[in-house]
Structure 1
Amino acid sequence: MSILINVAELQTCLASATPPVLLDVRWALGDPHGREHYLTGHIPSAVFVDLDTELAGHGQPEDGRHPLPSAEDFAATVRRWGINSGDTVVVYDDAGAAAAARAWWLLGYAGFKDVYLLDGGLAAWRAAGLPLAAGEERAEPGDAVVHFGAKATIDADQAAAWSGILLDARAGERFRGEVEPIDPRAGHIPGAVSAPTSENLAADATFLPAVELRARFVGLGVEPGSEVAVYCGSGVTAAHQIAALEIAGFRAALYPGSFSAWSNQPERPVATGPSERGASGGSGGNGDRVEQ
């Protein structure tokens, strides 16, 4: 079953007797005004989701910028969104699903089965000439139950010892250590493969077709049966990579702490420079320059 839904399909679902719960995750790195954007205009019936407070917990720097929330906190959150057991949920944003994918992944991790990403997000809705609503949508509290663990995760020790494919979803210049705008050290986890999430999308911010995504990941060394894990800066865009992998027919584990956690642990080595795994299909890491 696809994890994507397009605008026409969403329209049909919203007009049905059992419409989905619609979530608006208006968030982008460096833009703290997500709620204001939502209040100005959103898809009718969509409930605003605050990524920093509802899709993440709070911990020490070594836990990363967006550690997973507790199961108890997330259960209260999804009920506040109006989700009941058995509901279908559709998630969107205005950033090529980079933020929405975090909600998609976290709901899947919590055991929800019918969760979809609106392909193309708010831009696709606008492009179809469909109306927007302003102000706040209030949902009746739901009764959904959360059971964490339905999707695979790894921690820092597992990332350090990972023998499969470890994909880094950040921009290439951050992977190579040329720039680092937010984390304390520049570079990547040794042995990782650079796989920027921007390359999962077409020019209109929709996901590439499954056959193209599959070719992309095969070129990075992913094969049927491969053990794949993904990280990014703080565990947000890595969920986008996992969504793209699932569209392509592959499964992957998430390292929730990602590089923001790794780089705040001084004992963890950091590598700079390009990786060679994707081009060669070999064991990887040959381009790394590793520093403690």
Structure 2
Amino acid sequence: MKDIESAAQTYIITADCPSRTGTVDVVTRFLFEQQCYINEIHSFVDTTENRFFIRVEFRLDSDAIFNQDDFTEQFEQRASQFEMKWQLAPRPYKSKVVIMVSKHDHCLNDLLYRYRTGDLNIEIPAIISNHPDLEELAKWHGIPYYHLPITKETKPEQEAEVYKIIEESKSDLVVLARYMQVLSSDMSKKLSGRAINIHHSLLPGFKGAKPYYQAYDRGIKLVGATAHYVSDDLDEGPIITQSVDTVDHSYYPEDLAAKGRHIECLTLSRAVRYHIENRIFLHGNKTVVFGK
């Protein structure tokens, strides 16, 4: 790789390894020796699994030139002594995010607003839908829109087209912004760790048609949403973030649905932010998330 000038550039190291004495020191001492200033640091030890996690955001504490190849080679020598799996990422970096959606537009609208205003530092190379309804919204933002209808018989061909778009656009992340189709086992495995889904969290749980009407009939008092990574088990993937708010007897089904849409938008955008800022570690069927 070429030398990268570090005037305003920051970098993020994320690492995990078996827990033992010196795991924090091996990272922070190396950064000190490299004349790096730590802007933000988070660490956690899962004592049940004896696993250590760390995320460090840093910059050079001088006008020196940052040579990524040299940095990587030297740090690997230290990290290997701790069996450390690690990554180095530059910041700011515009992650490429493909958005998949059906007919509900609230999450898509929210992500597009955050993209347009720069609140989320992302590029959106494609919006994919199994319906044509939201094409004008995509056009208004100058984003290619792919209408790929799907039936039970055409599912393999449709998913092959979807995956082709994802791969050709070199996307870092796929966001299911109320995409109302279940991904196949094969597709879920291909997108493991880089596809985020959002769904409502009504307590107690209500599945099937018209969940908000079911909730209203039971006098629900909590409305929420869950953002999680896609897995082969429907809505059972590693949870990234959840949000909840209270409601009462005065909320009719339409009010509950409106509250749910609002919470879904906030929860999904937070999950996307955590992913693109390298704040999430996959840890079995759960996550370690170093939020802000």
Common topology (TM > 0.5) = no
Q: Return the structure number with greater strand share.
A: 2
Instruction: Give the TM-score, by structure 2 length.
Output: 0.27
Look at both structures and tell me which one has the larger radius of gyration over its CA atoms. 2
